Amino acid sequence: MLDCVLLVVSYRSAQDVTALLATVPPAVGELSWRAVVVNNDPADDLSAVAALPGVEVVESEANLGYAGGINVGLAAAPPSRFTIFLNPDLRLMPDSIVTMARAAEERHAVAPRIVDDAGETAPSLRREPAVLGSLGDALFGDRWPNRPGWLSEMIREPAAYERRMKVDWATGAALLVPTSVAREVGPWDADRFFLYSEETDYCRRLRAAGSQVRFTPDATVSHRGGGSGTSDALYALLEVNRVRYFRKWHRAPAGAAFAAVTALHSLLRASRSRNRLALRALLSASVRGELPGGTRQGL
């Protein structure tokens, strides 16, 4: 059995994936590994990636979204002790995978410290979405960064990123999960989430299965970001999927309150085109159907 399977979903990301895979050997040390790269764009040529040692490219039939691509990769993955989900626009620092594997023990998921191109730590840790936390973010945004935790979903305190800690969830650029736990939890929810909020949902399901989500700053990855692109439609999808996630796990009255607060967030920023589109998508099923991934469950 392999120690690690690295699972990467690529959408027009051949150059990024090649650069990511070049950083794997010093990151895994003496651990055995194999990379499964899911090509989510049938028109993209990943033959150069497939020729790399230890790499298997799996072709999807269409752009299945991030969660859908992950599920294709999980189905194709060989047996291993750990499954590591990685964005294609990452670079792994030396010993990062080794450190994450040690922190996982036999049961827990592990997220690393993420830095940007300048080496600055990114605020990647999150609290479980809640109505009051969403309201605080809608009203204050990045202002009042030291506000009480119940008024923000994002963990902004710099000191939090200097210590190992248990978190509700972390942004899904890099996550290590014991493969036995991944089998228990099952596929990612591709019926609801084409892109965004799928990692929030997956981390909640990990916690429900009795696993912790552990943050370890001793493991570092560099994330360029924007690998899936940026557009008004993608931002609107992010906001819509936050509501889809909340409605999945909460009763109708709480779901309605969360949806109203999410709409308020965009209404207060309606001078921006992306927020105007997000507001329209939250209010209109036909507009939601035109977003990437089309019509989905939950909203």
Q: What is the pLDDT of residues 136-157, one digit of tens each?
A: 999 999 999 899 999 999 999 9
Q: Go through 176-197 and write b for each residue having 16 or more CB atoms within 10 A of its CB, e for each that does not.
A: bbbbebbeebeebbbebbbbbb
Q: What is the pLDDT of residues 233-292, one digit of tens each?
A: 999 999 999 999 999 999 999 999 999 999 999 999 999 999 999 999 999 999 999 999
Gap between the Cα atoms of 273 and 266, Å rounded: 10
What percent of the chain has pLDDT above 90? 93
Instruction: Please give the helix or strand (H or E) that residue 72 lies within, else none.
Output: helix 65-76
* Spatial contact of 107 and 35, defined as CB atoms under 8 Å apart: no
Tokens of 13: 């990301």
Tokens of 259: 């949806």
Taking CA atoms, 128 is separated from 144, 207, 276, in Å, by 20, 11, 26
Whether residue 228 is predicted with pLDDT greater than 80 in this model: the reply is no
Q: How many CA atoms lie within 13 A of 56 on its CB side?
A: 15
pLDDT band at 61 (very low <50, low <70, confident <90, very high): confident
* pTM score, whole prediction: 0.95
Gap between the Cα atoms of 39 and 23, Å rounded: 20
Across 202-224, average pLDDT: 96
